[in-house]
Every structure is written in C-alpha cells, then in structure tokens.
Amino acid sequence: MFSVCDFTNIVLSRKGFDSASGYGYSPFDPTTGRYIVMPIPGSKSEQMLANRTRYEDLKIKQTYLPGILAKNLKDIVFAKELGYSRRTKEEITSNFAHFDPWLGPCPWLAEVVDHCIGAFGQVNAAQGHLEKNSVGVGSLFLFFSRFIPIRGRENQIGIPLDYKKGAYFLYGWLKVGRIAKGMSDIQDEQLRFRHPHATDAYFAKYKNNTIYLADTLLSNKSVIEGCGYFPRLRRELLLSSVRYYQTPCVWELPAFFNQPENRPTYLQKASRWTLQENPNSCLVTVPARGQEFVFRSSPGFVAWFSKIIEESKLIVAKRVMT
C-alpha cells in the first residue's frame, strides 16, 4: 500500500489527558472499542493567547457512548460511571480545553462543533526536538494516548485490561503536507478562529510556534486521507504489552523498532529494550510522559503501518469517498 519514500520521518506523539495534564486518562468502551480523546487543560498563561474553547462547548454525539448521559466533554468528566477525580473536575471547570491535534472529522463530536481539517501545533522544547530531527513536510505523526476502560462493560476487544491503569493505544495519524510558521500561512477560517495555536498572540509569544497541516492523502497511490482517527480501539492499535498489561509503560512493538541505528528518540538506550522469544517483537519501557518519539521510515515500518491501515480500510475509505 505504501513505500518507504512515502514518509520521511515518523513521530509517535502522545496527546490527551495524562497524570499531570488532566489528572486522569481518556475513556473508552471495551465492548465497542469506541473512545474519546480528552484534550488537556490549557495553561493559565496560554489562556490569554490561544483561541479558547470550553469543555462544555465541545458537544458530543448523544449516542456515542451508550449508557453515558453526556452532551459535552464537561459532562463526560462529571459522569459517575467514569470516576474522574475532584481535581480533574476542578481543572476542566476552571480552564479551557487545548483541543489539539485536529485529525479531520471526529468520531465523537457533534456536527455543530466538528472540524474537517487536519492540524497539529507544537512549541518550545518539544518543537525544538521535532526541528532537530528534521520533522517537516512528508513526515508522519502517529498519535497515541492512554485510555481507561469504562467499568462494568464487557471486554470484547480480545486483550487483558486493567480497569484502573488502562493501556496505551494509537488513535490517529497526520501526514504533514504544509507547515504554518505565522498567521499569514493560515488561510482556513475555521483554523484561524478555533485552533488554539492559530493566533497572532500565540505566534508572538512562542517564537517557534509551528502548526503542521495535513496532506490531502497519505500517498499518491492511496485513497486514505492524510489525517484521521481510527474508528475503534482494537488489539492492532495497542502499544502496551499484553504480557505486562498492569504496567502500561511497558510496550510490545515489532522488532524493527529495536534497530540500534534507528531507535525512536528518547528510547535509544539499549537498556530500555528487551528481546522476546518471538524474534518478531520486543519490549521497551517508555517514559511516563514522553511526548515526541522520532525515527526514520523503514521497510519494517511501512509493512506494519500498511497492515494497520488495511484493517481500518473499509471504514476509513468509505468516509474518504463520501
């Protein structure tokens, strides 16, 4: 489906609620695989600069998570079934939602607040790391987050789950087609008025503020859009090891990830990696709050990613063609 030259660098990028930003994790239904990526609260200083969206303004489809009565993302946090802490409730009540990345039409958002473009913003040291590692046009972001299964739901996705600690899954992708380094690079009105990074004040405050805009397609030979959300969480998108499912930061990855000359950044020390009896896979312990892990495209990656996309093709391609 793809070739090595379809992508330059690959970025595994962690986004969504975590232990320090939101003080919890995003929810998913282990029966259906449906999930919601909870955007982190914007910092106090950022709220004076960014396009601001409150959690209650992010309306969700009423039937998206059956049994959860919620009209918006604030209601999700206050839903008793999801067990969010008082600290999380205080955070999302007093702060705006830093809703980023955008990956085209969002499975859980109501049409009135949905978006149809792909964009991801980054600043400061994390953006410096991306620049240092030549992330730009042609690079591919694979976004992941930690998800907690909803209690009381039957586990039908075929993997063991810890209902307190959850697991890391991939949930979306964005192939970079263009880069915005200032407001003059942004023509789309929806982006200008809604994306948190797309303001004059944000570009003035953060000198390396960068917005990565999605390409039209993943490759010239593909009908798959240049960005998107995987429709369901499933085993093929799981990063956390099934063997060590009670330790979500231990990941089980295909063996090509453990090539000494091309290990992802921040995971380059050999001591982080453990070989498996199965020569096709390996274990790696990832930093609990690692953000951007960058590595080069390779035949192994292309085969792995093609399989992931292929298994979502019927749903994703149908959306592309409508």
pLDDT of residue 204: 96
**What residues pair up with 213 in beta bridges, in sequence order?**
119, 178
Sign of the Cα torsion 125, 130, 133, 134 reads negative
List the structure tokens of 108: 């859980």
pLDDT of residue 316: 47
List the domain range (segments joined by +) for residue 212: 4-321
Cis peptide before 101 (omega within 30 of 0): yes
pLDDT of residue 319: 44
Encode the chain (322 residues) as per-residue pLDDT tens digits: 788 989 999 999 999 999 889 999 999 999 999 999 999 999 888 888 999 999 999 999 988 998 999 999 999 999 999 999 999 999 999 999 999 999 999 999 999 999 899 999 999 999 999 999 999 999 999 999 999 999 999 999 999 999 999 999 999 999 999 999 999 999 999 999 999 999 999 999 999 999 999 999 999 888 899 999 999 999 999 999 999 999 999 999 999 999 999 999 999 999 999 988 788 899 999 997 788 999 999 999 999 999 999 887 544 444 443 3
How many domains are contained in the chain?
1
pLDDT of residue 222: 83
DSSP state of 232: S
pLDDT of residue 43: 83
Q: Give the burial string for 140-155 (b: 16+ CB within 10 Å, else e).
A: bbbbbbbbbbbeebee
- Using CA atoms, how far residue 122 sits from 143, 184, 186, in Å, is 13, 17, 15
pLDDT of residue 305: 96
